[in-house]
Chains A and B, each alone.
Chain A
Amino acid sequence: MVKTFNDVSTKTYWKIWSLLLLITLVMMLIDTAALARTLLVSLLLVGMLAKASLIAAYFMHLRFEKLSLVGIVTAGIFFTAAALFFLIAPDGVWILKSAVK
Chain B
Amino acid sequence: MINTQLAGALEPPWGGGVSPFAVSWQKLMMWLFIIGDALLFAGFLAGYGFVRLANPTWPNQFEVFHIEFIGLMTFVLITSSATMATAVGGAKVGNRQQVLRFLGLTILGGLAFLGMQVYEWSTLIGAGAGLTSNPWGVPQFGAAFFVITGFHGTHVFTGVLILTITAIRFVRGRTRFEGVELAGLYWHFVDLVWVFIFTLFYLI
Contact = CB atoms under 8 A, between A and B. Distances in A.
Give chain A's interface secondary structure class. helix
B85 A58 contact: yes
Contact of A77 (B35, B53, B79, B200): B35
Interface stretch (B67-75, B119-127, B145-153): B67-75
Interface residues of A, number: 50
A91 B78 contact: no
Give the most central of A60, A77, A80: most B CB within 10 Å.
A60
Contacts of B79: 17
Interface in B97-152: none
B20 to A, nearest CB: 6
A44 B203 CA distance: 8
B50 A13 contact: no
Contact of A99 (B49, B56, B74, B184): B56
Contacts of A55: 81, 188, 191-192, 195
A8 B46 contact: no
Contacts, number: 137
Contacts of B54: 91-93, 95-96, 99
B146 to A, nearest CB: 20
A65 B181 CA distance: 14
Nearest to B193: A52
Nearest to B189: A60
A60 B188 contact: yes
A21 B78 contact: yes
A77 to B, nearest CB: 5
Nearest to A9: B89
B78 A17 contact: yes
Interface string B13-49: 0000000111100001001001100110011011101
B86 interface: yes
A89 interface: yes
Nearest to B31: A73
Contacts of B204: 40-41, 44
Interface string A8-46: 111001101100110011011001000000001100110
Interface of B: 20-23, 28, 31, 34-35, 38-39, 42-43, 45-47, 49-56, 67, 71, 74-75, 78-79, 81-82, 84-86, 89, 92, 184-185, 188-189, 191-192, 195-196, 198-200, 203-204
20 contacts: A9-B89, A48-B195, A51-B195, A56-B188, A58-B85, A59-B184, A59-B188, A59-B191, A60-B189, A69-B31, A72-B35, A73-B35, A84-B46, A85-B45, A85-B46, A88-B50, A89-B46, A92-B52, A93-B54, A96-B56
